[in-house]
Structure 1
Amino acid sequence: MDRFEILKELEPAKKSKYLIFIPNEIFDDLLNVNEIRNGMHIALAYCYYCLISYLYRYCIYGNILADYLNQPNLKKILGYSVINKEIDYIMKRNGVLDAIGYTRTVTEIPISVIYIDAFGNALNFGIDSRPFDFEEVFEMEFRFLNEFEKPKFKIKYPVKAFERVIIMDCEEVDSDGTFFDIFYTHPFDMRVFLHAMRHDDIGTVGFYLYQFINRHENHSIQITLENLEKRTGIIGRTLDRYLKKLEAYNYIEVIHQDFIVNAPVGERNPPNTYTANSYKDIYNEPYNEVRIRNVTFYPDGDISSIEHGSQE
């Protein structure tokens, strides 16, 4: 099965099976891992964690794809060659994601799940219909393949989906994982992810940047390119290229502030505002006319900064 056949098989069968939630702290956690070699690999690590979390949450291993969801094919899904060894240090057993407590390499393969309330009773709805804000859910009881059914490979257990520690006001707060508690998380839409993986000019880097924007209040952030580089690890022309592609495909909308020439010392040009769009707004083909900043000369230009969403 080739890459695009696998991507086709991964399309959510029902509307309720496309969404999970990812911890917001993942961006800073990955950025602060010295062992990750560059920004491209940070993006890969982010997308890999999202993918294995989705596969686990919806028990995709229990369907026809089971034999195709080994590590080489996961690399293929993410746009990398199955023989590429340069990225193995991120996802292998005891690799970077295992070492920082985001994943664990296991042999238990989830194939179905039962929802349990606080009294130990099974709730009467299935995996396809459970709303994420359903407060009665106390536990998710997974059923696993038995020894004779198991594919001949190991999978990744998404640790943060079951348990996490959140830093709040400089204090550590124990929390249920993101499968149970979506406080301080952002959405992962499998439909957007699959669209990005089908378009090599978006890929893991474009999806990672889209998700960084998407995680902010109102799915929007006003930020300088310098700070965007610092916050994501994607730098220079690579950042510029992917932002333009995201805008061309309408993954994001950008309010391009005018560039003010000869502004007074101490005054800076207001940063652009980036807003993440939903899946239904994304184009299948890029729209070529991407706006760039207008140039105006002080004092005619307005150097006041208008806040749209978060600002950095």
Structure 2
Amino acid sequence: MEVVIAGAGSIGLLLGSFFAEAKMSVTFYVRRTEQAQQIQQDGIRRVNQDGTTSEFQAAATTHIRELPQKALWIVAVKYAGIRALLEDMERADMNNPTLFVQNGIGHLALVNDTALSNVAFATVEHGAQRMDDCTVKHNGVGMLTIAPARGNGHQFDAVEQLDSKNFPVSYHTNAEQILMRKVLINCMINPLTAILEVENGVLLTDAHCESLFTSLYDELIDAFSEMQAILPYEAVADVCRKTARNRSSMLADRLAGRPMEIETIVTAVRQKALYRGKSLPLLGTFEQLLYAMDRRDTAL
């Protein structure tokens, strides 16, 4: 089985390592020649939670027409890169089964407007940190939840081979629902960790952080009450516990001077709430703080 992973950040590298461990042929599609060359030469590495290191062979290229033609695609680029990637795929006449694993919900509409025949979406609750161009640290075991959205869902059956105690996989029938569940988790963890510059676990161990965390949960569930059954408070807290030593993607972007994914996570949820007549004042305050910090940090 051949797998193409577009994007070799923390989640792309983590997924690639588990696909390679399942004896699949993995090729990364990346932007930078330096990263492609390093992966070609050294493969990829995963630092496991017990401190051991697992190494795997992998290929990489910056040229879309060099990719295997009949591979399963995993799109792990950030939201900001989705539009350009979809345009690249269209120009190259790519119509492979494609699984999207972005944070947020902004990518849903972009993907739905494509001509891709077989599409699925997934949410990833693992803690992962990219150490360098080839290495990812697995900071916490979560769940990979997949929901086919268009076409033949069996095109994604190969992902089930990753299922293990270190990388559990589950399936869902409603893609929009699992994305909404994940983006609400993101809204409860990412803004606070990015603003306060703390790891995920601190949201539960510091009394002031926990108070903000709980208030944010209550505000969001009041606006999206139908989500409470599949997203009780304890489920969000459990994500914090399992990824206690992890830096959220928003905090990692801020510390690296990269633009944070505010629009597809925080702004998208606030706009959905406004459509329902809910203002989300706490999240709205965090949104303005994040945009102010984003402009300042990326300008430095």
Higher relative contact order (CA 8 A, sep 6+): 1
TM-based fold match above 0.5 = no
What TM-score do you get using the length of structure 1 for normalisation? Answer: 0.26
Higher helix share: 2
What TM-score do you get using the length of structure 2 for normalisation? Answer: 0.27
